[in-house]
Chains A and B, each alone.
Chain A
Amino acid sequence: MISNVQPHGTLQQVFLSLWNAIQEGESIVSCKICGETFKAPMMLQKCSHVFCSLCIRRWFDSNSICPECRIPSSAGELCKVRLVEDFVELWDTLSRKAQTVNDLVMSNPLRSDLYSNTYQPSEVVQSFYVNSSNSNTDEEGRDVPGKKSRDNKIDTPKRKQRKKKRNNVQEKDPSHKIAECPICGIHISIRLIQHHVDICLTKQSCSEENISDRVFFSGRLNGTSSNAHTEAPLESTFEKRPTTLWYKNLSDRKLKDILQYYGLSTRGDRNMLIRRHKEFVFRYNAELDSKFPRPVSSVIKDIEEWEKQQEWNSISEEALNPHLETTLSYNEEICHIAKSDFESLVQQAKKTMFKTNSNHRLSNLCLESINNEDILVFTQQEEGDN
């Protein structure tokens, strides 16, 4: 099997092209609004463009066209596309696996030889093959022919020499040692093991979380939650989705009541309440659109965090980017320039008038009238225009 793949350089090239293809695929499975892979993808019925549920719901709050093709549409025309969701999942696992292999290839000290035909396989890549062939024997319970041929190969004197050399290298440089991941059992260079274990751990915890959430949520949905999830004031709203409201017609008190009903906090001024309700509606609906919705409590937690971030953002915006002030000062500057220009013009006009009318008695009168009233009026008008 393995011995059939003769020039290992080409194998690596094949992998590299595969890796590139996977990387390019990211643009297909990512949302044009947030730039990340689709979370609860929703399709627009008229133009069949797909976006994350949360992103497109936020967009439709203030617009009513498709962000990509401008065809008029609305939040009511959204429909779920499970196929895309499954495909995104598939792509995710594929890219993660490719990443692990890529890490292996990149840790190869002979990487500069990747494109040359005289490439000699390094021990890291070999260890990967050994690992895969071992797993083959484990699964099938018998020897794979490829392994035998490989063993034969190892016995040749050239191989032995190379092995010796490699051992020397290993002794000198500890980073070339291979360790086994305690979670997925893959063999990997010691340099990368930390990183790899991190990925493995997060993967595991994610999947566990998902399962527990799913159980929790479906239990609540069916009304069979015997585990006493008593904090749920939302039982009835599971059947009816919350929608954004016509906030102009709502009194503060009613708004607070609604927020309380959903289990949200009621602090802050009216704008904040409205924003909070809107955000909750978007997030809650997006959660319902996803394959494995999380419980309401985590949505509420998310919203609290989001608010904190918003506050922080506004503070940092004021502190770091005094955007409004700069534009204001810029306008003032222009105003000032225009004013001084105008004043110099008036001065010039006065001079010429003084010259031409110097012989007349009227000149003084003219000057006085201009000085006292007209300039003031003109400058004020100028300011108002700006």
Chain B
Amino acid sequence: MAPSRRLYKEWEELEKAKKQDPDIFLYPTDDNLLHWQAKLKGPVDSPYEGGTFVLEIRIPNNYPLSAPTVRLKTKIFHPNIHAKTGEICLDILKTTWSPAWTLQSVCRAILVLLSHPEPDSPLNCDAGNLLRAGDLRGFRSVAKMYTVLFAKQD
């Protein structure tokens, strides 16, 4: 099944409802709609506030049946995001993917993950250990430093 028709529909939906979600700016980067990029605004009241995080999304050939590959291009200090590769540990991108999800909803899920980190299944052990040790202040300050260093675009 060619994924392009469904992707085109999603793109149309995005164009229609552009103003509804100011935190997510999602757009295809090439003509066949198999590469997308998203810019997420760091959620308010999290150490990522004020930063812009760039997501790289690759669509597999049997797209709505299998999950897109999503990677964070911006460096970030977060227990569920790999510090070097930007791989994201999110169940809906791995085992519990369902075709009812769209790229937009995936982005929203990642935003929620940013504001609610899951330290029990860490990809970034340093961040996970800080949180598990209860050092919220330390975690927040490091994460904020990363945001200021890497996620500020201007």
The reply to whether B35 and A33 form a contact with Cβ atoms under 8 Å apart is no
The A interface is mostly helix, strand or loop, or mixed, namely helix
Beyond A67-B98, A313-B2, whether A62 also contacts B65 by CB under 8 A is: yes
The reply to whether A314 and B61 form a contact with Cβ atoms under 8 Å apart is yes
A interface bracket (residues with beta carbon within 8 Å of B): 20 to 34
The reply to whether B1 and A34 form a contact with Cβ atoms under 8 Å apart is yes
- Out of B61, B69, B99, name the residue touching A33 (CB < 8 Å): B99
Closest Cβ–Cβ distance, residue A46 to chain B (whole Å): 16
Residues of B within 8 A of A65 (CB): 98
Beyond A321-B58, A323-B58, A334-B84, whether A58 also contacts B100 by CB under 8 A is: no
Q: Which residue in chain B gives the minimum CB-CB distance to A317?
A: B61
Measured in the bound complex, the distance between the Cα atoms of B47 and A359 in whole Å is 52
The reply to whether B65 and A59 form a contact with Cβ atoms under 8 Å apart is yes
The reply to whether A34 and B100 form a contact with Cβ atoms under 8 Å apart is no
Beyond A58-B65, A317-B61, A321-B58, whether A36 also contacts B2 by CB under 8 A is: no
Q: Which residue in chain A gives the minimum CB-CB distance to B66?
A: A62
Q: Does B42 contact A (CB under 8 A)?
A: no
Q: Does B128 contact A (CB under 8 A)?
A: no
The reply to whether A34 and B32 form a contact with Cβ atoms under 8 Å apart is no
Q: Does A35 contact B (CB under 8 A)?
A: yes
Q: Which residue in chain A gives the minimum CB-CB distance to B84?
A: A334
- Out of B32, B58, B69, B85, name the residue touching A330 (CB < 8 Å): B85
For chain B, the count of residues having a C-beta within 8 Å of the partner chain is 21
Residues of B within 8 A of A214 (CB): none
Q: Does B54 contact A (CB under 8 A)?
A: no
The B interface is mostly helix, strand or loop, or mixed, namely loop
Closest Cβ–Cβ distance, residue A78 to chain B (whole Å): 16
Q: Does A88 contact B (CB under 8 A)?
A: no
Q: Which residue in chain A gives the minimum CB-CB distance to B12?
A: A35
Q: Does A320 contact B (CB under 8 A)?
A: yes
Measured in the bound complex, the distance between the Cα atoms of B143 and A335 in whole Å is 25
Q: Does B64 contact A (CB under 8 A)?
A: yes
The reply to whether B2 and A309 form a contact with Cβ atoms under 8 Å apart is yes
Residues of B within 8 A of A35 (CB): 5-6, 9-10, 64
Closest Cβ–Cβ distance, residue A6 to chain B (whole Å): 33
The reply to whether B61 and A34 form a contact with Cβ atoms under 8 Å apart is no
For chain B residues 93-107, which have a beta carbon within 8 Å of chain A?
96, 98-100
Residues of B within 8 A of A58 (CB): 1, 65
Known: A33-B64, A321-B35. 8 other contacts (CB 8 A): A32-B99, A34-B1, A36-B9, A67-B99, A68-B100, A314-B61, A330-B85, A334-B85
Q: Chain B: residues with CB nearer than 8 A to chain A?
A: 1-2, 5-6, 9-10, 30, 32, 34-35, 58, 61, 64-65, 69, 84-85, 96, 98-100
21 pairs of residues in contact across A and B, judged by CB atoms under 8 Å: A32-B99, A33-B64, A33-B100, A34-B5, A35-B6, A35-B9, A36-B6, A55-B1, A55-B99, A58-B1, A59-B99, A67-B100, A310-B61, A313-B2, A314-B61, A316-B32, A317-B61, A320-B34, A321-B34, A323-B69, A330-B85
- Top 10 A-B pairs, shortest CB-CB distance: A35-B9, A33-B99, A67-B98, A32-B100, A35-B6, A67-B99, A68-B100, A67-B100, A33-B64, A313-B61
